[in-house]
Amino acid sequence: MGLFIFVLGTILGSFFNVLVQRTIKEESIVGPFSKCDYCNKRLSFYNMIPLLSYFIQRGKTSCCNKKLPILYPVSEFATGLLFLFIYILEKDLVVGIVVAFLISFLISMSIIDFLTKDIYYIHIFIVLILSVILSRYQFWFFEELLYKAVFVLVFLLLGYLLSIRGYVGFGDIVLIISLNISLNFFETTIFLFLMSLIGGFVGFVLYFKKRDRKVKLAFVPIISSAFILLEILKAILI
Ligand SMILES: [Zn+2]
Protein backbone atom coordinates (compact mmCIF):
# COMPACT_ATOMS: atom_id res chain seq x y z
CA MET A 1 0.00 0.00 0.00
CA GLY A 2 2.84 2.38 0.90
CA LEU A 3 4.43 1.85 -2.53
CA PHE A 4 1.10 2.50 -4.25
CA ILE A 5 0.71 5.80 -2.35
CA PHE A 6 4.28 6.80 -3.25
CA VAL A 7 3.71 6.06 -6.96
CA LEU A 8 0.42 7.98 -6.83
CA GLY A 9 2.36 10.92 -5.38
CA THR A 10 4.98 10.84 -8.15
CA ILE A 11 2.25 10.75 -10.83
CA LEU A 12 0.55 13.77 -9.25
CA GLY A 13 3.94 15.48 -8.88
CA SER A 14 4.43 15.04 -12.61
CA PHE A 15 0.93 16.40 -13.24
CA PHE A 16 1.61 19.45 -11.04
CA ASN A 17 4.82 20.13 -13.03
CA VAL A 18 2.73 20.25 -16.20
CA LEU A 19 0.15 22.45 -14.44
CA VAL A 20 2.80 25.01 -13.42
CA GLN A 21 4.54 24.98 -16.82
CA ARG A 22 1.32 25.36 -18.80
CA THR A 23 -0.17 28.01 -16.51
CA ILE A 24 2.97 30.13 -16.82
CA LYS A 25 2.97 29.72 -20.62
CA GLU A 26 -0.80 30.36 -20.58
CA GLU A 27 -1.60 27.08 -22.32
CA SER A 28 -4.59 24.84 -21.75
CA ILE A 29 -4.30 22.19 -19.01
CA VAL A 30 -6.58 19.56 -20.58
CA GLY A 31 -5.31 19.40 -24.14
CA PRO A 32 -3.27 19.18 -26.32
CA PHE A 33 -0.85 16.30 -25.75
CA SER A 34 2.36 16.93 -23.82
CA LYS A 35 5.16 18.19 -26.02
CA CYS A 36 8.92 18.38 -25.72
CA ASP A 37 10.02 21.69 -24.12
CA TYR A 38 12.65 22.17 -26.83
CA CYS A 39 11.52 20.76 -30.20
CA ASN A 40 7.73 20.59 -29.55
CA LYS A 41 7.61 16.94 -30.60
CA ARG A 42 4.69 15.05 -29.08
CA LEU A 43 5.78 12.95 -26.08
CA SER A 44 4.82 9.32 -25.93
CA PHE A 45 3.60 7.45 -22.88
CA TYR A 46 7.03 6.07 -21.96
CA ASN A 47 8.53 9.60 -21.97
CA MET A 48 6.12 10.59 -19.21
CA ILE A 49 6.58 7.90 -16.55
CA PRO A 50 7.39 9.82 -13.35
CA LEU A 51 11.01 9.42 -12.14
CA LEU A 52 11.72 6.38 -14.38
CA SER A 53 11.67 8.25 -17.71
CA TYR A 54 14.22 10.75 -16.43
CA PHE A 55 16.65 8.02 -15.39
CA ILE A 56 16.11 5.75 -18.42
CA GLN A 57 16.73 8.75 -20.72
CA ARG A 58 19.71 9.75 -18.53
CA GLY A 59 18.28 13.22 -17.89
CA LYS A 60 17.90 14.04 -21.59
CA THR A 61 14.98 14.32 -23.98
CA SER A 62 14.66 11.24 -26.19
CA CYS A 63 13.71 13.30 -29.26
CA CYS A 64 16.40 15.98 -29.46
CA ASN A 65 18.87 14.94 -26.72
CA LYS A 66 18.59 18.19 -24.74
CA LYS A 67 19.11 18.30 -20.98
CA LEU A 68 15.91 17.97 -18.89
CA PRO A 69 15.53 20.15 -15.77
CA ILE A 70 16.54 18.24 -12.62
CA LEU A 71 13.55 19.95 -10.99
CA TYR A 72 11.20 17.46 -12.71
CA PRO A 73 12.40 14.24 -11.05
CA VAL A 74 13.16 16.07 -7.78
CA SER A 75 9.63 17.45 -7.46
CA GLU A 76 8.12 14.10 -8.51
CA PHE A 77 10.16 12.34 -5.84
CA ALA A 78 9.31 15.00 -3.23
CA THR A 79 5.58 14.72 -3.96
CA GLY A 80 5.84 10.93 -3.69
CA LEU A 81 7.60 11.26 -0.32
CA LEU A 82 5.02 13.79 0.89
CA PHE A 83 2.20 11.35 0.08
CA LEU A 84 4.06 8.52 1.81
CA PHE A 85 4.70 10.60 4.96
CA ILE A 86 1.12 11.75 5.27
CA TYR A 87 -0.09 8.20 4.63
CA ILE A 88 2.07 6.99 7.55
CA LEU A 89 1.10 9.88 9.89
CA GLU A 90 -2.60 10.21 9.07
CA LYS A 91 -4.92 7.45 10.23
CA ASP A 92 -7.75 8.33 7.86
CA LEU A 93 -6.69 7.36 4.29
CA VAL A 94 -9.14 9.69 2.49
CA VAL A 95 -8.18 12.66 4.67
CA GLY A 96 -4.49 11.82 4.13
CA ILE A 97 -4.79 11.76 0.35
CA VAL A 98 -6.84 14.98 0.25
CA VAL A 99 -4.33 16.77 2.55
CA ALA A 100 -1.37 15.57 0.44
CA PHE A 101 -3.16 16.65 -2.76
CA LEU A 102 -4.01 20.05 -1.24
CA ILE A 103 -0.42 20.62 -0.06
CA SER A 104 1.13 19.79 -3.45
CA PHE A 105 -1.51 21.91 -5.19
CA LEU A 106 -0.70 24.86 -2.87
CA ILE A 107 3.01 24.47 -3.70
CA SER A 108 2.17 24.66 -7.44
CA MET A 109 0.04 27.77 -6.83
CA SER A 110 2.91 29.31 -4.83
CA ILE A 111 5.39 28.75 -7.67
CA ILE A 112 2.93 30.26 -10.16
CA ASP A 113 2.33 33.29 -7.90
CA PHE A 114 6.05 33.72 -7.29
CA LEU A 115 6.90 33.63 -11.01
CA THR A 116 3.92 35.49 -12.48
CA LYS A 117 2.41 37.40 -9.50
CA ASP A 118 -0.88 35.88 -10.58
CA ILE A 119 -3.50 33.91 -8.70
CA TYR A 120 -6.20 32.05 -10.62
CA TYR A 121 -9.78 31.80 -9.35
CA ILE A 122 -10.18 28.33 -10.83
CA HIS A 123 -7.29 27.19 -8.58
CA ILE A 124 -8.88 28.84 -5.51
CA PHE A 125 -12.13 27.07 -6.38
CA ILE A 126 -10.33 23.70 -6.33
CA VAL A 127 -8.82 24.61 -2.92
CA LEU A 128 -12.33 25.47 -1.69
CA ILE A 129 -13.70 22.07 -2.76
CA LEU A 130 -10.79 20.24 -1.07
CA SER A 131 -11.34 22.28 2.11
CA VAL A 132 -15.03 21.41 2.19
CA ILE A 133 -14.10 17.69 1.89
CA LEU A 134 -11.57 18.10 4.73
CA SER A 135 -13.98 19.96 7.00
CA ARG A 136 -16.30 16.90 7.05
CA TYR A 137 -19.12 17.03 9.58
CA GLN A 138 -17.83 19.86 11.84
CA PHE A 139 -18.94 22.22 9.08
CA TRP A 140 -22.57 21.64 9.97
CA PHE A 141 -22.54 22.41 13.68
CA PHE A 142 -24.29 25.67 14.42
CA GLU A 143 -21.41 27.34 16.32
CA GLU A 144 -18.95 26.33 13.60
CA LEU A 145 -21.25 27.65 10.90
CA LEU A 146 -21.76 30.91 12.80
CA TYR A 147 -18.07 31.46 13.46
CA LYS A 148 -17.26 30.64 9.83
CA ALA A 149 -19.87 33.07 8.55
CA VAL A 150 -18.40 35.81 10.78
CA PHE A 151 -14.87 34.93 9.64
CA VAL A 152 -15.87 35.06 5.95
CA LEU A 153 -17.64 38.41 6.35
CA VAL A 154 -14.82 40.02 8.35
CA PHE A 155 -12.18 38.80 5.91
CA LEU A 156 -14.16 39.81 2.83
CA LEU A 157 -14.50 43.32 4.25
CA LEU A 158 -10.86 43.43 5.33
CA GLY A 159 -9.78 42.06 1.94
CA TYR A 160 -11.87 44.62 0.12
CA LEU A 161 -10.38 47.49 2.14
CA LEU A 162 -6.81 46.21 1.80
CA SER A 163 -7.07 45.39 -1.90
CA ILE A 164 -8.45 48.77 -2.99
CA ARG A 165 -5.37 50.29 -1.36
CA GLY A 166 -3.19 47.71 -3.10
CA TYR A 167 -1.71 46.14 0.05
CA VAL A 168 -2.91 42.68 -0.81
CA GLY A 169 -4.70 41.05 -3.73
CA PHE A 170 -8.35 40.16 -3.30
CA GLY A 171 -7.55 36.64 -4.54
CA ASP A 172 -5.17 36.14 -1.61
CA ILE A 173 -7.99 36.91 0.82
CA VAL A 174 -10.36 34.51 -0.96
CA LEU A 175 -7.64 31.85 -0.72
CA ILE A 176 -7.35 32.40 3.08
CA ILE A 177 -11.14 32.12 3.43
CA SER A 178 -11.23 28.93 1.34
CA LEU A 179 -8.46 27.26 3.35
CA ASN A 180 -10.11 28.31 6.60
CA ILE A 181 -13.25 26.28 5.76
CA SER A 182 -11.41 23.12 6.86
CA LEU A 183 -10.17 24.59 10.16
CA ASN A 184 -11.85 24.95 13.55
CA PHE A 185 -11.58 28.07 15.70
CA PHE A 186 -8.38 27.01 17.48
CA GLU A 187 -6.68 25.98 14.22
CA THR A 188 -7.70 29.27 12.60
CA THR A 189 -5.96 31.19 15.38
CA ILE A 190 -2.75 29.20 14.85
CA PHE A 191 -3.10 29.58 11.05
CA LEU A 192 -3.40 33.39 11.25
CA PHE A 193 -0.59 33.57 13.79
CA LEU A 194 1.79 31.50 11.60
CA MET A 195 0.78 33.57 8.57
CA SER A 196 1.60 36.91 10.21
CA LEU A 197 4.84 35.44 11.58
CA ILE A 198 6.00 34.22 8.15
CA GLY A 199 4.63 37.30 6.37
CA GLY A 200 6.33 39.63 8.84
CA PHE A 201 9.61 37.78 8.51
CA VAL A 202 9.53 37.75 4.67
CA GLY A 203 8.52 41.42 4.57
CA PHE A 204 11.32 42.31 7.01
CA VAL A 205 13.97 40.44 4.99
CA LEU A 206 12.77 41.90 1.67
CA TYR A 207 12.66 45.41 3.10
CA PHE A 208 16.27 45.26 4.25
CA LYS A 209 17.43 43.56 1.07
CA LYS A 210 15.82 45.98 -1.36
CA ARG A 211 15.31 49.06 0.82
CA ASP A 212 12.03 49.57 -0.92
CA ARG A 213 8.69 50.01 0.80
CA LYS A 214 6.70 49.29 -2.32
CA VAL A 215 8.15 45.84 -3.01
CA LYS A 216 5.27 43.57 -4.07
CA LEU A 217 5.01 40.44 -1.97
CA ALA A 218 3.80 37.16 -3.41
CA PHE A 219 1.25 36.20 -0.77
CA VAL A 220 0.32 32.71 -1.95
CA PRO A 221 3.69 31.21 -0.82
CA ILE A 222 3.23 32.86 2.61
CA ILE A 223 -0.38 31.66 3.02
CA SER A 224 0.58 28.19 1.78
CA SER A 225 3.60 27.79 4.08
CA ALA A 226 1.46 28.76 7.08
CA PHE A 227 -1.18 26.19 6.11
CA ILE A 228 1.39 23.45 5.38
CA LEU A 229 3.15 24.14 8.71
CA LEU A 230 -0.20 23.89 10.50
CA GLU A 231 -0.99 20.56 8.78
CA ILE A 232 2.46 19.22 9.77
CA LEU A 233 1.87 20.29 13.41
CA LYS A 234 -1.57 18.65 13.35
CA ALA A 235 -0.18 15.43 11.87
CA ILE A 236 2.58 15.25 14.51
CA LEU A 237 0.56 16.31 17.55
CA ILE A 238 -2.82 14.65 16.96
ZN1 LIG B 1 12.73 17.42 -28.16
Same domain, 185 and 81: no
Report the pLDDT averaged over residues 148-170.
81
Confidence of residue 94 (pLDDT cuts 50, 70, 90): confident
C-alpha of residue 40 to centroid of ligand 1, in Å: 6
| Those residues with Cβ within 8 angstroms of residue 72's Cβ, 6 or more apart along the chain or in another chain | 14, 17, 54
92 vs 99: CA distance, rounded Å: 11
d(CA 87, CA 81): 10
Do 32 and 39 touch, CB atoms closer than 8 A? Answer: no
Domain end position, chosen among 38, 71, 89: 89
What average pLDDT does the chain have? 85
Verify that 76 and 149 share a domain, yes or no. no
Domain for residue 115, yes or no? no
The pLDDT tens digits for 50-87 are 889 999 999 998 889 888 888 889 999 999 998 898 88
pLDDT at residue 216 above 80?
A: no
Q: Ligand 1 centroid to 88 CA: how many Å?
A: 39
Q: Distances in Å between the alpha carbon of 232 and those of 37, 69, 96? A: 35, 29, 12
What was the pLDDT predicted at 209? 76
22 and 130: one domain?
A: no
36 CA distance to ligand 1 centroid (A)?
Answer: 5
Distance 174 CA to ligand 1 centre (A): 40
Which residues span the domain enclosing 3?
A: 1-89
Work out the average pLDDT over 196-216: 77
132/184 same-domain check: yes
- Residue 63 CA to residue 17 CA, distance in Å, equals 20
Does 126 share its domain with 238?
yes
Do 227 and 137 share a structural domain?
A: yes
Average pLDDT for 7-13: 92
DSSP structural state of residue 60: B
Cα 156 to ligand 1 centre (Å): 47
Helix (H, G, I), strand (E, B) or coil at 42: strand
Number of structural domains the chain divides into: 2
